[in-house]
Structure formats: structure tokens, C-alpha cells
Structure 1
């Protein structure tokens, strides 16, 4: 078997208000907006990428925030929860932080030997913070809004909801090379790579749940990591040999992608680690301006005119924050 992803690359969801989305994920969760672009398949919507300082694979949560998008429905055949990794012992701080922002969160619980804190974003998307007892060595985005010792390290896991576990479980193991870790009630855990935070997927068996409807407040797809395009080509060929309907390789400017559906209905992507988000702008300026791929540049004026204006927090760009501090110091009374 050639297909053995090392972990998650990103999770992409749908929102309904771009500015509200930026405010929540940058200020409430302390993630960095690493790329402001558009949905390459429908340029009427932004495509916003949040993650660590450089938007490394495994740290990324992305959104298509369609203004006024209708509400979706959580259910089977989709990813119904996205979990982020935070340091052990930090969930009490996060519970207070979210409460101070008026964000309702469930009581802290223990699940599968991990402490978890569950809440929802403004569109109702289910999010979980997980304090992994073995820790997470990844470096967080230190933006000044969230103390670095509490900050999100990256994705922890995703949950797929299914009516029947068998086909999805077999696919994860037999077709994607993941390994079964354990079962806890109606939840099965599978791991890719080393099985740490960012390499986990849970399958939640909910036979009486309705079929999910993808719209605002739901996950559009999840993406697995592949090192490079050459490996991706081999994986695509193997998936097709196994009977999956797989898209052609698509140029997403910051990575290359293929898409297919797992047997339970969730849309999956395999995305390359290369070339990354500094392909078209410097590290310090990530996310600050609207970036378009070369084939959309001729339509920049028309595209930009259809998009609402975004106000980014100064903390998103260290250079801008330093400039603001210097200006404030200069203008301060003696």
C-alpha cells in the first residue's frame, strides 16, 4: 500500500459572515490568518486560512465564509467536530477566556484519557479543545492575544459521523493506511503516522441521526497530508484502482489537491505540503492582503468588488503591530 498519510493537513468549513469569522478565529482562538484569498471554484466567497505562524500543514482551519449563507445541518456523512490541541492543564483558562467573550462552552470532560472542552463558533460549528496528556511539541502562533503557554498548537483530530461504522472503518484502515487505536462506546479512534495530535480521526456511530446538510456551520471537507506531488500522483492512481472516483490534481496555489468521498459520505482531500503559504508573500505579511492565483489576476478588480471589506487585528502581522506601537509611543504626551 502506497497511501499512508502522516496526519491531517487542514479542515475546511463554511461560514456566513467573513468579518465575524475573522474576529472569532483570530481573537477568540488566537489563530493567525495566514492567507486571504477566494474560493478558486466560486470567487464570490473568500477562502480564509488560519493556522500557526507560517500556516504549516496540520495547523490549518480554513473557511468559505459566504455572506448570508443558509444554516447547515449536522448529521451523518460529514465531519461533525473539529478538535484543536492545547497544553495540558490549560482548559480551565480557556473556559474562563471563552466565558469572558460570551461564548458558551460545555463543562470540561474527560474522554479517552484526554480532557476536552467543547463549544461552537458563531455559525454553530462544533469545536473542541483537547489537552493531550503526552503533550504537543508543535510551536503555537504567539500573537499576544493568547498566552503562549495556553495557545493552540494545531489540529488535534476530526470526528466523522456515520450511520454504520463498517465501511468507513474499513476504508480508513484498508485504503488510507490508518490503524485502529481503540473503541470507546459509540466512538472509534484511528491514527495516521505517529498517532499524536494532528494525526487522529474519530468515527462516531449515530444510526438515528439525520443525514447532514453542508452549509453554514458545517465542515465542507477534511484533508490528509502528502509530502509532494509525485507521491500524490501515486496515491491517486491507487485510489482509482480501488474503485474511488477521484478528481484530477488541482492547483490550489499553496498546495496541490485531489478529492474523493469515503464510503460514509464525507468529502476527503489529499493535499501536498508544498509549496506553502509564503509562495506569494513574505512570512511577516501573511494574510494581510487579498491574494489571487495567476489565472484569476486578470479579474482582480471585479472579484475584489464583490467581496466585503475585512478588518484584521494588528496582532495578525507582527510588522504592523510593531509599527502601531512605535506610532503610539511617538504620539504619546511627554
Structure 2
């Protein structure tokens, strides 16, 4: 029983309309689901992914207008990554970011890969990672519905970086509970005075299956707001293994949400010892369970257990106009 990699990363936004513009028009990702936060149905939940909504390709955003800013620090998912095919794609993105006035760094090496870090309009820190034919979890399929050439398009999720004050307990959860393995390290780009960033992988490994641990005891505890990452989810291949994971967490005495049906996947939530929220999510049944692949994200999708409340939910949601 082995996790397959990163399933999705969920982030906070205060401006869903501008968020949609950035992730579909600038980054060229596909809106694969327009739903609601199932725990607070007055809030939209947007999912962006690859051309066919493959597991392991979704950045998701909870829309909370007027939410305050995030404050970086420890006990946080401090960076999320998106995969592209080649280093040439990174150069394309560097030029495109200049065109759209997107704040970004130069191309740098992280964990032996060429990368390009940037921030969206709310300060979300994202790192583009070039696959360059690396072996590991297979990439997704770039969306051809934007002006970004498919050869340079986003192919799915890359590593997440966890910034913590005390790494040992987090590493214990990753390795002894979730089955990750240490595969290397690389120098901190912040400065030589900081510890190397440790790299842990699961499944087939590669960019789509890694967690990077940054140790920063000098930082305050992060405060989550707009642009901040709410949680990271890891891929469980099917519901049979999901049941085993649910029993495993409970058997180990790890406080968790219990089984949660999100309709598009099954979920389990728990916090690792530094307070970062982890989720285990199934690859099945997928985002096309209630929409055709050709029409993903075009209408407000509600799971069957909320469908009977559609009129009330829609009445309480603010108008959301997403211009294609």
C-alpha cells in the first residue's frame, strides 16, 4: 500500500474572478470544477487542472472575499510547484511573466532540477519545475484552450515545500506513517546559515511525488489568509486502499476527520505534529462523474447530498462572473 504522489493543493483567495483570470488566462490551466466549499456552502471552490482533470494536477481555491493577508512563517505549506516539460518552457514563462508583470525569480536549481519561482497577485508562492524527461510519476496533459503553447503548458503538480521549526516529528509522519522515503537534499536558497532542504518521495517518485522539508526555527508561526495554502492532499489509488488508510490512522491513534465523501474523491484529513493539514484523497471516481469531459467547470456543480439544497445555496452565493 503506497501513496502515489500529490493529489491536489488547496489555497485561499479573496478574489475569485481575478483568480480565474490569472490561472486560466496567464497560466493557461483549465477550470475543471466550479463548486462550493462543502463545509461552508456560501463560499465558492474552484479547481484548476490539466486538460482531462487528471489526479495530481489540481490547484484548488476557496473563495473568501475580504479575507486578510497571509503572513509567512513556520507550520505552513510555504510553496507549491507546477510541472512543465523542459527548461525551455521555463524561459518561455520567464518572458511571459515579464509581459504580464508577474513577480518572479531567475531560473534556479532546486533538488537537481531547473525551476522558476513566482508569486500570483495575492502572494501565493509557486515554483515551476522542469521535468526534462525525469523518471517518476507521469505528468498530466497540457490544456490547449488558452494562448499558452501546449509544449510549454502546465502538466500538473510538483513538490510542496513544508516550512517547519522542528522537522523530526513531521519527518516521522511522512516516513513511518505515510511511507515516504528520503531521496536527497539541496542547499537553502535563503542563505548558507540555514539547514539544507530535505527531500522525501513516495510511489514512483519524481516531481509529482515529493515533499520538501525546510527547517526555519528563526521564523514566527505563519498566519493563513489570502494567498496562503490551506492543505495538501496525497493520492490514494482507489477506495479499497482508502479504507485501509482510514483504519491505519485510527489504529495509530492519529486524530483525523474520519471518512469524508467529496463526491469527486474520498478524503481523510489530519494534522501532522507541526500543525500542517494533510489530506488523503482517492483518484476515483474523478471530476467527470457529474459533467462531461468537454463541459467541465462550465456550471455550478453540487454533489448529490447538496443538490436538494441548490436553490437555497445559489441564493446565498454572491454572483460570480467568470469571463472566458
Residue 203 of structure 1, aligned match among 182, 207, 213 = 213
Kindly name which structure, 1 or 2, has the bigger radius of gyration based on alpha carbons. Answer: 1
Residue 244 of structure 1, aligned match among 254, 257, 260 = 254
**1:62-86 CA distance string (max 9 Å, x none):** 0101111111222211211000011
TM-score (norm 1): 0.90
**Contact kept? 2:24, 2:146, Cα under 8 Å:** no
Residue 46 of structure 1, aligned match among 35, 41, 44 = 44
**Alpha-carbon distance between aligned partners in 2 of 1:141 and 1:79, rounded to the nearest angstrom:** 26
**Alpha-carbon distance between aligned partners in 2 of 1:65 and 1:169, rounded to the nearest angstrom:** 31
- Is 1:65–2:75 an aligned residue pair? no
Match of 1:303 in 2: 313
- Is 1:98–2:97 an aligned residue pair? yes
- Is 1:129–2:147 an aligned residue pair? no
Match of 2:190 in 1: none
1:207-226 matched pairs, under 5 angstroms: 207-226=217-236
Give the secondary-structure state (helix, strand or coil) at the position aligned to 1:133.
coil
- In the alignment of these two chains, the number of paired residues is 312
Deviation at 1:247, TM superposition (A): 1.2
Between stretches 16-25 and 101-110, larger displacement belongs to 101-110
Between stretches 230-239 and 145-154, larger displacement belongs to 230-239
**Contact kept? 1:73, 1:213, Cα under 8 Å:** yes
TM-score (norm 2): 0.93
**Contact kept? 2:85, 2:133, Cα under 8 Å:** no
Decide whether aligned partners of structure 1 residues 80 and 213 sit closer, same or farther in structure 2, where only a CA change above 3 A counts. Answer: same
Match of 2:193 in 1: none
Deviation at 1:128, TM superposition (A): 0.8
Between stretches 103-112 and 16-25, larger displacement belongs to 103-112
Match of 2:164 in 1: 162
Deviation at 1:310, TM superposition (A): 3.4
1:141-156 matched pairs, under 5 angstroms: 141-156=143-158
Deviation at 1:313, TM superposition (A): 4.7
Deviation at 1:137, TM superposition (A): 4.7
**Contact kept? 2:73, 2:221, Cα under 8 Å:** yes
Coordinate RMSD, CA, aligned: 1.4
Give the secondary-structure state (helix, strand or coil) at the position aligned to 1:99.
helix
Deviation at 1:305, TM superposition (A): 2.9
- Is 1:12–2:10 an aligned residue pair? yes
Give the secondary-structure state (helix, strand or coil) at the position aligned to 1:144.
coil
Deviation at 1:150, TM superposition (A): 0.4
**Alpha-carbon distance between aligned partners in 1 of 2:246 and 2:174, rounded to the nearest angstrom:** 15
Deviation at 1:211, TM superposition (A): 0.7
Match of 2:79 in 1: 81
**Alpha-carbon distance between aligned partners in 1 of 2:53 and 2:44, rounded to the nearest angstrom:** 17
Match of 2:289 in 1: 279
Decide whether aligned partners of structure 1 residues 137 and 268 sit closer, same or farther in structure 2, where only a CA change above 3 A counts. Answer: closer
Deviation at 1:134, TM superposition (A): 2.9
Deviation at 1:25, TM superposition (A): 0.7
**Alpha-carbon distance between aligned partners in 2 of 1:298 and 1:218, rounded to the nearest angstrom:** 32
**1:30-52 CA distance string (max 9 Å, x none):** 11000000000001110101101
**Contact kept? 1:288, 1:312, Cα under 8 Å:** no
Deviation at 1:145, TM superposition (A): 1.8
**Alpha-carbon distance between aligned partners in 2 of 1:90 and 1:54, rounded to the nearest angstrom:** 21
Unaligned runs of 5+ in 2: 188-195
Give the secondary-structure state (helix, strand or coil) at the position aligned to 1:98.
helix
**Alpha-carbon distance between aligned partners in 2 of 1:230 and 1:179, rounded to the nearest angstrom:** 23
Match of 2:54 in 1: 56
**Alpha-carbon distance between aligned partners in 2 of 1:123 and 1:94, rounded to the nearest angstrom:** 19
**Contact kept? 1:26, 1:313, Cα under 8 Å:** no
